[in-house]
Structure 1
Amino acid sequence: MDEVEFMRGRVYGAEHDDPGPRAGRVYAHLVGGPLDGLLLDITELTERERARGVSLATEIGRYGPGGRAAYAPRPEEPRRFDWRGDLP
């Protein structure tokens, strides 16, 4: 299994031994970019924070370790966050 296949269905930031989603939490699906296929727990984000999008630390983006990947919700599908680019 390659790295991309291994990451699908996992929750961003979750422990490796407990990678799946938890009951009672709200998740967005990350689409595109280095974190494609991961789920993002958005339970504690306000509507305003969700609308602004997120910048997530990643070691596999354009800027390598220390870099970030920017994602923003689709207007018609707010539970799908599309990749907007990598940040240093």
Structure 2
Amino acid sequence: MIRGRELTTGTVIDVARLTGCYQDPDGSPPCTQWAQPQPGLWHLEVSDVQALALPIPGRGQLGLWPPSEDLVAQVLQQLPDLRQ
């Protein structure tokens, strides 16, 4: 549950700008308490995180994936300042 709502897997609750990614060197401790200590995993750096007032059902995929045009339209309804 997030914000008092029970959500299905893949629900979009925030949007963020991806600013970078990196891998920790093998054998090094995790870079943050949230990092998974497994070799080969990528860590994402983000900024400009904005919460959506209303969660939007997504595609239910793990990792990065391109959003559908419909999903983008739904996000822009809630966050019109994201238009470029």
TM-score normalized with structure 2 length: 0.26
Considering only CA atoms, is the larger Rg found in Structure 1 or Structure 2?
A: 2
- Provide the TM-score with structure 1 as the length reference: 0.25
More strand by share: 1
Greater relative contact order (Cα < 8 A, sep 6+)? 2
